[in-house]
Structure 1
Amino acid sequence: MTAVRTVLRRIGFYVLVALVTAFFALPMLWLVTAPFTRHPTFAVRWPDFTLANFRALGDDPNALPSLYNSAVLSLWTMLLTVGAAALAAYALSKARVPGRDAILYLLLLLSSVITGTAAMVPVFQLMFRLHLLDQDLGVILVLTGGLLPAAIFILKDFMDTMPRSHEESARVFGANSLQVFGHVVLPNVRPGLATIAVWAVVNVWGNFLMPFLLYRSPEKQPAAVTLNTFYTEGGQPDLALISTFALLYSIPVVVMFLFVSRRYGFRFHGGIKG
């Protein structure tokens, strides 16, 4: 009797796992098949293997350029975030600043409480006064400012795990502070830098609110905003264009994740997933 119960429990467990897997796999299956279906619906079905949807998407003057716009915003925001976070995290980790932990947690708390929705009016007014509306620089600076507190907090943990003896050895051989930072510190925290880089790119790649708020020209809009334009005049979604664009929109992030995962393996370093 006990053996029968054990078998029934295992069968029930495997059925549950199969149902949960199917629940999460069906949207992904739809995303892969719908772009190749001439008239896609919300149901998952065998595709027609047509490229008509891709040709229709190519006729949209803003669709494919918006992917380039997203790449530009993501790249520059990532570079600024990683660079500024590395400098700030190193200073907070190694320098004995009074109240540094309180400052760090306060920055993290404020960045969590004051979200983009709550700050959109003052951000818009600030960009208007600085004449940075409809400018890439304005959007990049706003996105970088929103990501920096959490990036500093995460990267500081990586800095804390690096032995101080490495820096002292470099200084003994005559290295200045900039050389120590560039040749000793950064190579030792590369997993942390990769973590921040991927995190920043993903956040900017999927950000809708700030680009929608700060850009005025349709040709400058990133992909997250352009995706919201594939609706008919009656408000009905154009599933052919939405599914095709969503597939192209998701490919760069997936490729980046696979590359970084293969390169760094997302091992645990210093208590944080690296």
Structure 2
Amino acid sequence: MSPRDAVRTVVRYVLVCLLLAFFALPLLWLAFAPFDRDPGVSASLPSFTLDNFEELLDNENALRSLRNSIVLAAGTGAIVVVLAALAAYALSRVRLPGRDALLYALLLLSSIVTGTAAMVPLFNLAYELDLIDSQLGVILVLTGGLLPSAIFILKDFTDTTPRSYEESARVFGASPLQIVRHIVVPLIRPGLATIAVWSVAQVWGNFLIPFLLLRSPEKSPAAVVMYTFYTEGGQPDLALISTFSLLYSVPVVAMFLFVSSRYGFRFHGGIKH
């Protein structure tokens, strides 16, 4: 290796290390601040204490908001996975005029018309359906926003499943729903896991829709309640915020690790090669 190449290699590794350090600082702060007696905005070795966790556990809104987040995320994820699987299978097997154009149009519109842009019509629709201050209303709104992308992703998995399996099942008298349940779903499980993790993560961190539709504090999820951890002087309570943020991130990280250990996120449409 020439001296010039060696210098370039050293510079490249230094830049990569600096970039990793830049992105690692917030994670270090999140790991250390909850155990610090007097956390600040800088990442440093904590003066170890568990008082922050005790104070957080005494806060009824904090624990209740985590339960609300689980309800919203699990409900939305379950509906999205079920409806996306059925719709993706139907669109994959039934030849409709303009099918692909419809899929791309739905995906494009779901990307352009975001929650912020559709805030007023969504609120009016929820009001007309008497879904204001209802967790079911939040679940339905979030499901509608996630479904187009979920269907688009799952259709690629469904397209690559062998149709000969389905034809054999039909010979033995299997109904379409039985074919989906016993033939298609086992083959596209990696895709379903991808959609489930993605849906739960999208709902778990969503602030706008629950903040817009829910009026009762006891129904608010963690993403909304986190913005209430301020002192009487209006300053952010870093001890509570950091501790709550750590607990708030545990369920999603645990779900990601579970699915990653199960499937490794090495996905292929339909069957693994």
Name the aligned partner's letter for residue 78 of structure 2.
L
Name the aligned partner's letter for residue 97 of structure 2.
P
Name the aligned partner's letter for residue 262 of structure 1.
S
| Residue 23 of structure 1: how far off its partner (Å) | 0.7
Q: TM-score if structure 1 supplies the norm length?
A: 0.95
1:116 correspondence with 2:115: yes
1:151 correspondence with 2:159: no
CA distance in 1, matches of 2:59, 2:5: 58
| Residue 3 of structure 1: how far off its partner (Å) | 3.0
CA distance in 1, matches of 2:54, 2:36: 13
| Residue 125 of structure 1: how far off its partner (Å) | 1.1
CA distance in 2, matches of 1:18, 1:115: 36
Aligned partner of residue 206 in structure 2, secondary structure: coil
Query: Corresponding residue for 1:231?
Result: 230
Unaligned runs of 5+ in 2: none
Quick check: 2:191–2:269 contact (8 Å CA) kept in 1?
A: no
CA distance in 2, matches of 1:215, 1:118: 19
| Residue 234 of structure 1: how far off its partner (Å) | 4.1
Cα RMSD between the aligned structures? 1.5
Name the aligned partner's letter for residue 158 of structure 1.
F
1:187 correspondence with 2:186: yes
Deviates more, 1:207-216 or 1:105-114: 105-114
Name the aligned partner's letter for residue 117 of structure 1.
T
| Residue 7 of structure 1: how far off its partner (Å) | 2.5
| Residue 236 of structure 1: how far off its partner (Å) | 2.0
Deviation digits for residues 17-43 of structure 1 (CA, Å, limit 9, x no counterpart): 211111111110000000000110011
Query: Corresponding residue for 2:49?
Result: 50
CA distance in 2, matches of 1:16, 1:98: 52
Q: TM-score if structure 2 supplies the norm length?
A: 0.96
Aligned partner of residue 90 in structure 2, secondary structure: helix
1:27 correspondence with 2:62: no
**Matched residues, number:** 271
| Residue 160 of structure 1: how far off its partner (Å) | 0.5
CA distance in 2, matches of 1:189, 1:211: 31
CA distance in 2, matches of 1:169, 1:103: 30
Aligned partner of residue 117 in structure 1, secondary structure: coil
CA distance in 2, matches of 1:250, 1:220: 20
Query: Corresponding residue for 1:139?
Result: 138
Aligned partner of residue 42 in structure 2, secondary structure: coil
Unaligned runs of 5+ in 1: none
Deviation digits for residues 188-243 of structure 1 (CA, Å, limit 9, x no counterpart): 10011000000000000000000000000111100000111112344321111110
Quick check: 2:190–2:267 contact (8 Å CA) kept in 1?
A: no
Deviation digits for residues 43-71 of structure 1 (CA, Å, limit 9, x no counterpart): 11111120111122122220111011000
